[in-house]
Amino acid sequence: QVQPVESGGGLVQPGGSLRLSCAVSRSIFSMNAMGWYRQAPGKERELVARTISGGTTKYTDSVKGRFSISRDNAKNTVYLQMNSLRPDDTGVYFCRTEFPDMTYWGKGTLVTVSS
């Protein structure tokens, strides 16, 4: 399986935190970039954060200062740490990995922020 696999979603109260994981089956050293996207109910999929290997990371304005991307090379895993969660962060979160020859999407993990 070459699709990335997301995990870590769940139900959390407003103000809480979650850490999403994206397990990458190909070596992340050969990855050009990866991104986290989300799709809220009834809305289009949107970019949350995208990092270019060896370069910069960009975050959508609504998550700046609250979300951060990190990676564990030994585990071939990329994380999205989400703090100070708000109800409008609710949605299915997808991992997208970009390699020189192919781009892959995971199937997503559901995050629900609600009291």
Asked whether the predicted pLDDT for residue 40 surpasses 90, the reply is: yes
pLDDT digits (tens, 9 = 90+) for 92-109: 999 999 999 999 999 999
pLDDT digits (tens, 9 = 90+) for 48-83: 999 998 879 999 999 999 999 999 989 999 999 999
**Residue 48: per-residue pLDDT:** 98
**What average pLDDT does the structure give for the chain?**
95
**Token pair in block for residue 9:** 């979603």
